[in-house]
Amino acid sequence: MSMPSIEERFRRAAQRSAERSIKASSSFRSVIPILHHDVPTFIEAPHDEDLANSDVVVCGFPYEGIRARDTRTMIEPGVPLENTVYARDGAWEAPDAIRRHSLHYSLVHGPGIHHYELDPEFRLTENISISDAGDLPVDLAVPTEAMLHEASDRLGAIIGEERIPILLGGDDITPYVGLRAVARQRQARIAVIKFDAHFDLCWEPRYWAGSEWARSMEAGFLRPEDLAVIGIRGFRNPGVFGEVARELGIRYWTLPMIDEKGIVACVEEAIDTVAGQADYLYLSFDVDVMDPAFLPAQKYPEPAGLTAREAVRGLRAAVAAGPPFCGFDLACLAPRYDVNGLGSQLAARFAVEVIASHAFRRRSDP
């Protein structure tokens, strides 16, 4: 019996793929979902109104609050910030930028996103459903605390009792909004793994991109011993941050520790340290943990951070090793400082990796 020709084998493979594609196509629209203007939904997932019972729901939080103009001066939300060497503006633009560049990972590819790095046979939409609910409300005329709580309450209404939020910030008060909603949803003990160059252990100002953990602990939905920070580096962490971490028993892993042990080992150590008694795992990612060579669009860039591959491997390891995954946020992307959209594309990749890792673990678990 003669071997099929190369053309016949190509066509046979294409037929198998088409059969799987027909099965997968019911999970997303054939009409491109547009949120507004030229902004598509994240990875062209269905609008949440069309898939209200999705496993994972993406929300944007286009908020940028108090900013540091320099080492001595804070600027109130909504007040224009002149470009300075010390600080950058524009994190409120991130959700739209991430969605635009998420087209690189569109569900139409395949369709349904093959993930050959995890498993050649793994297709995302065969294991999990995803929707995009648009942006949470932001009103700078409302007092900050009330505005943040309104956004968090809205997120809580969207995710209901079981859905997992993927929250695209915004500055680094974003974790407070996401974690508050998830804590109310789960009514259980939640461990947090934070990828960040900075501790963010300010007590005041009360609500800004450096006090998210103080407010979360004060409100009672995060225990200090359940927080681990991965990626501490550089010279923008004041001495008081280290003292607060020591006082509260907050564990952290620095870049030299990552260099010595590897990112996966450090993440697994963090999981063992903070998640042993926890029921769920929440992941938070500040893009300034990255080396600006890989992600230039940062509010507070500093050289010598994580590589793109280290960040991807770290996120995968956290989802694989931790307790059940319950939420993810990404913060402090400043798209106006991007280079050819590479930073926004990488930020979108991080969100896709977290979703895929969760789906892959769920498929693998008995």
**CA pair distance 332, 335, nearest whole angstrom:** 9
Res 111 pLDDT > 90: no
**pLDDT score recorded for residue 73:** 77
| Cross-strand partners of 57 | 131, 165
Report helix, strand or coil for 10.
helix
Taking CA atoms, 138 is separated from 143, 161, 208, in Å, by: 11, 24, 14
Instruction: Compute the distance between CA of residue 112 and CA of residue 115 in angstroms, rounded to an integer.
Output: 10
- Name the residue with higher pLDDT: 320 or 79: 320
Burial 183-215 (b: 16+ CB within 10 A, else e): bebbeebbbbbbbbbbbbbbeeeebbbbbbbbb
pLDDT of 6 higher than 90: no
Task: Give the C-alpha separation, 166 to 158, whole Å.
Answer: 11
**Which of the four pLDDT bands, split at 50, 70 and 90, describes residue 1?**
low
Rounded Cα distance, 179 and 213, in Å? 10
Rounded to the nearest 10 degrees, the angle between the axes of helix 174-186 and helix 144-159 is 50
In single-letter form, the type of residue at position 29 comes to R
Mean pLDDT score of the chain: 91
CB–CB of 32/111 below 8 Å?
no
Residue with the larger pLDDT of the pair 338 and 70: 338
Which residue in this structure is represented by tokens 């896709």? 352
Predicted confidence (pLDDT) per residue in 285-296, tens digit = 999 999 999 999
Cβ atoms of 158 and 51 within 8 Å: the answer is: no
The SS3 assignment for 189 reads coil
**Residue 87: what residue type?**
A
234 backbone φψ class: left, alpha, beta (φ>0; ψ -120 to 50): left
The pairing of strands 34-36 and 39-40 is antiparallel
The reported pLDDT for the residue numbered 126 is 87
DSSP three-state, residue 290: strand
According to DSSP, the residues that pair with 59 across neighbouring strands are 167
Task: Using the predicted structure, report yes or no on whether residue 74 has a pLDDT greater than 70.
Answer: yes
pLDDT for res 3: 80
pLDDT tier for residue 130 given thresholds of 50, 70 and 90: very high
Q: What would the pLDDT profile of 143-163 be if each residue is shown by its tens digit?
A: 999 999 999 999 999 999 999
**Do residues 55 and 302 lie in contact, with contact meaning Cβ atoms separated by under 8 Å?**
no
pLDDT higher than 60, residue 30: no
Q: Which residues pair with 191 in a beta bridge?
A: 281
3-state secondary structure of 316: helix
Crossing angle (nearest 10°) for helices 174-186 and 212-219: 20
Q: Is 262 left (phi over 0), alpha (psi -120 to 50) or beta?
A: left
pLDDT at 178: 98
User: pTM of the prediction?
Assistant: 0.92
pLDDT (tens digit, 9 = 90+) per residue, 325-336? 999 999 999 999
What are the residues whose beta carbons fall under 8 Å from the beta carbon of 181, sequence distance 6 or more? 152, 153, 155, 156, 159, 165, 327
